[in-house]
Amino acid sequence: MSLLKNKIVFISGASSGIGMACARSFAHEGATLILAGRRKEKLEQLASELKEKFNSETKILTFDVQNNHEVKEAFNSLPEDWKNVDILINSAGLAQGMHKLQEGNTDDWDVMINTNIKGLLYLTREVLPYMVKRESGHIINLGSTAGHDVYPSGNVYCATKFAVNAISQSLRIDVLDKSIKVSSVDPGMVETEFSIVRFSGDVERAKNVYRGVDPLTAEDVADAILYCATRPKHVNINEIILTPVAQAQSNFVVRKTT
């Protein structure tokens, strides 16, 4: 199957987790990929893996989504025909720290707000005018259950994901007359580097987040994203919320004790 042959797919946060899983599943469907992230070596490794396995054509863009200047420069460095992105997957995002607000680290807040909200906006702002011009395209944002229900000490991270939820809904209206699709894929507990990053490399604490739960994998989420991207032309998937079977929403999780 080559459901996405000749489609240009731009993936932010492609050097790890859900972004990387998307790169693999979209490459499997024949997509041409723009792999964006901060870690050049990881992206290069991924690009050669995709070339070898699927003969994928890729371009690598190394930049920090927090920096609007870098985002603009990176996007503008693409050859003109590569700027006609068919699908933008905004998967760059992170949690940093988990404290009561009164004890929160404001540098952590800046990183989360600048990456999850502003970074997503900066990149979308570059890609979207080309979609508008062609009256065709698909933006897929990585939301979270944390954008639907808050949880203790989730404060700023949850706020960023509520913002992504609002941006997806509002953007869908803004491009309604341009035949552009906007989807939000909102997972609950996914075991990636997410919690290791959140807890500054504390692997034990990160593992504990998923204790007694069979969590989602990055591939599970990539599968939902691929589903959104492969519907017929007239179908838009507005939102997918997916959780492990053991999770109902942010605050309701059952853990096996054995």
155 binds ligand 8X3 (CB under 6 A): no
168 binds ligand 8X3 (CB under 6 A): no
Minimum Å distance from CB 194 to ligand 8X3? 6
188 binds ligand 8X3 (CB under 6 A): yes
Task: Pick the stretch among 6-14, 50-58, 80-88, 144-152 that binds ligand 8X3 (CB under 6 A).
Answer: 144-152
Active site residue 227: no
Task: Pick the stretch among 10-18, 28-36, 143-151, 168-176 that binds ligand 8X3 (CB under 6 A).
Answer: 143-151
Q: Which is nearer to ligand 8X3, 126 or 186 (CB)?
A: 186
* Contact between residue 123 and residue 88 where contact means Cβ atoms under 8 Å apart: yes
Minimum Å distance from CB 101 to ligand 8X3? 16
Q: Which is nearer to ligand 8X3, 56 or 145 (CB)?
A: 145
Task: Mark residue 100 as left, alpha or beta (left: phi above 0; alpha: psi -120 to 50; beta: remaining).
Answer: beta
34, two tokens: 């723009």
Residue with the closest Cβ to ligand 8X3?
A: 144
Task: Give how many residues touch ligand 8X3 by CB under 6 A.
Answer: 6
Contact with ligand 8X3 (CB under 6 A) among 96, 144, 168, 184? 144
| Binding characters for ligand 8X3, 232-251, by CB under 6 A (x = yes) | ------------------x-
Give CA–CA dist 132/62, Å, rounded: 25
Minimum Å distance from CB 220 to ligand 8X3? 13
Minimum Å distance from CB 190 to ligand 8X3? 7
189 binds ligand 8X3 (CB under 6 A): yes
State the SS3 of the chain. Answer: CCCCCCCEEEEECCCCHHHHHHHHHHHHCCCEEEEEECCHHHHHHHHHHHHHHHCCCEEEEECCCCCHHHHHHHHHCCCHHHHCCCEEEECCCCCCCCCCHHHCCHHHHHHHHHHHHHHHHHHHHHHHHHHHHHCCEEEEEECCHHHCCCCCCCHHHHHHHHHHHHHHHHHHHHCHHHCEEEEEEEECCECCCHHHHHCCCCHHHHHHHCCCCCCECHHHHHHHHHHHHCCCCCCCCCEEEECCCCEEECCEECCCCC
Contact with ligand 8X3 (CB under 6 A) among 91, 96, 141, 145? 145
Which member of 122, 130, 157, 210 is catalytic? 157
Residue positions annotated with a catalytic role? 157
Residues within the interface to ligand 8X3 (CB under 6 A): 144-146, 188-189, 250
